[in-house]
Amino acid sequence: MKLYKKEFLIWTQIIFFLTPILFLVNGCGDDDDNGPESPVITSLNPDSGLVGTAVDITGLNFGTNSSVVSVSFGTSSATVNSITATLINVDVPDDLSAGEVTVTVTVEGRISNEATFEVTELPVPNITSIDPTQGLPGTTITIIGTNFSDDDSENQVSFGDETVIVVSASPTEIVVEVPSDLPAGEVSVSVTVNERTSNLATFTVLVPEITNITPPTGPIGTLITIEGTNFSQEESENTVTFNDIEAGINSVTTTQIQAFVPSGIPAGIVQVGVSVNGVSSNTLPFIVLGPTVTSISPTTGPAGSQVIISGTNFSDDRANNTVSFGDTEVPIDDATPVALTVTVPDNLPPGTVNITVTVNGLDAGNIDFEVIVPVPPLYWIEQVEGESYEIIMGEVGDETTTTQVVTSVDLIRTVAVDTDTEVVYWSEDIRANRSSSIFSSADPSTSIYTTSRFVFISSIAVDTQNDRIYWIEGDDFSFAQIWRSDLNGGNVEQLFSMESYETLLSLELDVVNGNLYFIEDFDDPVNNVTSRVYEADLNTSGALPSIIYEQVEDLPSGSGVTGFVDLAVNGSSLYIAGTTRSSNTVNQLLVGNLSNTSNGLSVVYQSNPGSSDDPMPEILGLTVDREFNYLYWINYGDRSGPTNSTNGSIYRGPADASLTPELLFSGLNLPDNLVTNPINNGRSKSQPRRVKIDLTF
């Protein structure tokens, strides 16, 4: 029978009232007579609640030893949390079902009266709203409602069949993220707490959509704008692809994404798509424009020169462009979408080389370039009508030009150039006083140096490193000296003098190694010797030169050279122009090793008598371009051969004779090879006319 709370309290009061009376009536009898008193439950607080609820049981005779006390909710035992003689705290057992259940306390086998506890039904969670109600996968949403648990782990949120992790929870709000793999469209959302599931709410999963791409075409690296809807404003949640290649993103909004056309895709039509947290959009086409080479400027040039490759769709990021000369890749000096500037590599030999260009891995095409050895300005002497002489500068570029540098009524015998300042130095045989003077283009009206009477200057050379000028003096009595001074004529000093020398020619300096070289031209009919090459120390005044090569003894076998007319030095090599001093015979350009002169001379080039394109029918002058190791020489036409010309020409060729000699200038009005000395003392001897070529570069 149900014991109601009110009746229970009345009987409790009666018992408390009667207890002392009965005690007085019966006296203070020993408990042993009747045994310990049974426990009594007077109240439960609370008297209803969920399983697991903490309940205080108030009463009598509970004792304090929890080991002999048990509390039962129906047939289920409750764990005693704490105990006093009048108060026990327990938790409602978890295995109880909803409804009324009797509660008893047992102390050492003595059972208390019964009290009633009502186990209430667990509340069902309820969703009242979702904010927002639509969004992209990955969107954070808040589920608003009741009967949620404030323990995150006790709330289970599902989007359709997929359970998601709860970010945070309270009894009225749960925060979660929309799963990334949900398809587009509506999905049901539910919350389950302690196996009780809420009503369903609807969330709409949005899909990104592309509506336009601007511009619709462009090369790799182009920044494009993708317009559409349902993009994420978080850059990391968006992915842009061109076919299967992911592109770099520059900026994002929910309706616009800016991205760069990625490298690694082919030229032509590709499909552009956007995915947001794994949800893919539609795709639109984009045309990738390939790079194209259209021209190169200049089309020819030396190693080390710059060229501009023009075209379309290059990258303005130098690292994205690749330019190769043959198999040699070169760095990009400058880059724009329409032009690439590069430097011709130093290791390329003269000739045609194919240049290939790629941009971001796409082939832009190729174009030919002619690697050439540049021609420095050349200087020589010509004779004009009226017995006047002039120094000519010739330049070879897009156009071949000649310029008159100096003109004089006196014989200009030799010329040299300061390659650092481009000042020209020359010697003139002054008829009026039968002497020779050195002049410069810096002040052509004033001589730098003038010889004694009857002494002429046969050759000059400029030391650009130390700002000095050297010259050879001679006269008709086989007297020869070598002098030097500052470029302005100061500090004149004689290096050496020997009366046994005949005519000295072609003074050449090797400043790096501290030597000078020259040719002695003389007659030795007994030994049939006409020329020798000497080496002297530049820095030891008075030291006599030594013979290093001699015509006849050091000529190659079968050579018909009868005299040396000019020389040039480059490193350890000495080049000599050898002539027969007669027509229709073989002239030769020879080379010897300065470090091992015992091996004699060998032929680099030689003339081809009778040929209309003979490059050296009668050699007069020789010089060497030390940077590119090219030989330059000047010669007369073959007066008895097919050309039948007294005009001169200038040729050049590599010192290793790897190319056919190249004609640079023709039709030169050269003085006769032998000119009567205008400053002689009346003797009949004639001095050989010397023409010298010097380079500036």
Q: Give the pair of three-digit tokens for residue 447.
A: 């001589």
Q: Are 270 and 224 in contact (CB under 8 A)?
A: no
Q: What is the pLDDT of residue 26?
A: 42
324 φ/ψ angles, rounded to the nearest 5 degrees:
-130, 135
Reduced to 3 states, what is the DSSP secondary structure of residue 116? strand
pTM for the model stands at 0.61
Q: What DSSP line would sit under 151-188, residue for residue?
A: SGGGEEEEETTEEE-EEEE-SSEEEEE--TTPPSEEEE
Q: What is the pLDDT of residue 59?
A: 95
Give me the average pLDDT of each 10-residue run along the chain (697 residues).
45 48 41 74 93 93 93 94 95 90 95 94 90 88 94 93 93 92 88 91 92 95 94 92 95 96 92 90 94 94 93 93 96 96 91 94 94 90 81 88 91 89 92 90 93 89 94 79 94 85 84 92 70 89 85 88 90 90 73 91 84 69 88 72 57 89 86 53 40 43
Give CA–CA dist 109/427, Å, rounded.
145
Give strand ranges (E) for 74-180: 76-78, 80-83, 87-91, 99-107, 110-111, 115-119, 126-131, 134-135, 140-146, 155-159, 162-164, 166-169, 173-177
Give CA–CA dist 247/272, Å, rounded.
10
Picking from 498, 520, 660, the residue whose alpha carbon sits closest to that of residue 576 is 520
Residue found by looking up tokens 């590069």 in the block: 342
**Which residues contact residue 446 at a Cβ distance below 8 angstroms, ignoring those fewer than 6 apart?**
439
Residue found by looking up tokens 């009667």 in the block: 18
From the number of C-beta atoms within 10 Å of its C-beta (0-12, 13-18, 19+), residue 186 rates as: exposed
Give CA–CA dist 406/427, Å, rounded.
11
Q: Are 439 and 452 in contact (CB under 8 A)?
A: no
Q: Are 56 and 47 in contact (CB under 8 A)?
A: no
What's the sign of the alpha-carbon dihedral 291, 295, 298, 303? positive
Q: What is the pLDDT of residue 480?
A: 85
Q: What is the pLDDT of residue 551?
A: 87
Q: Are 496 and 543 in contact (CB under 8 A)?
A: yes
Radius of gyration of the chain (CA): 56
Q: Are 204 and 133 in contact (CB under 8 A)?
A: yes
Give CA–CA dist 12/41, Å, rounded.
10
Picking from 10, 87, 85, the residue whose alpha carbon sits closest to that of residue 56 is 87
Amino acid identity of residue 175, one-letter, is V
Give CA–CA dist 613/182, Å, rounded.
86
Residue found by looking up tokens 């430097």 in the block: 343
From the number of C-beta atoms within 10 Å of its C-beta (0-12, 13-18, 19+), residue 60 rates as: middle
Q: Are 691 and 620 in contact (CB under 8 A)?
A: yes
